[in-house]
Amino acid sequence: MKTITLWRPVGPVELDLIRQSGMTAFPPRLPDQPIFYPVLTEEYAIRIARDWNVCRDGAGYVTRFDVQAAFLSAYAPQEAGGQALREYWIPAEDLGKFNAAIVGQIVVTKSFERNR
């Protein structure tokens, strides 16, 4: 089975929910979150986790995971401000199917905390 490696920047609350799943699923979107957006590069995920999650939540984490390529073929990568800033836009109602297409575990690759 062919897979594609993706990354997702998360804050501490989302990481706790991922841990509660056994590191196998992302939590449902909140009502004001109509899309789930995993990103295509670790560098992009680092920028968001370090520059946005830390500022907003006090900490940011980068997760890495593999998704079945056949599932992702229904979605086109979107540019979010340039070629280096690419992400998939998965509608919130498709997140359960997305989670089912994750192969293996979700792994934390980087963590950032606010300087005290």
What pLDDT, on a 0 to 100 scale, did the predictor assign at position 81?
76
Q: What is the 3-class SS of 14-26, one letter each residue?
A: HHHHHHHCCCCCC
- Alpha helices by DSSP H, 1-116: 12-20, 42-48, 54-57, 69-72, 95-100
Check whether domain 3-113 has CATH 3.20.170, yes or no: yes
Domain ranges of the chain: 3-113
Global pTM reads 0.93
What pLDDT, on a 0 to 100 scale, did the predictor assign at position 32?
92
What pLDDT, on a 0 to 100 scale, did the predictor assign at position 116?
58
Give the pLDDT of the chain (116 residues) as one tens digit per residue. Answer: 899 999 999 999 999 999 999 999 999 998 999 999 999 999 999 999 999 999 899 999 999 999 999 999 999 999 887 777 899 999 999 999 999 999 999 999 999 998 75
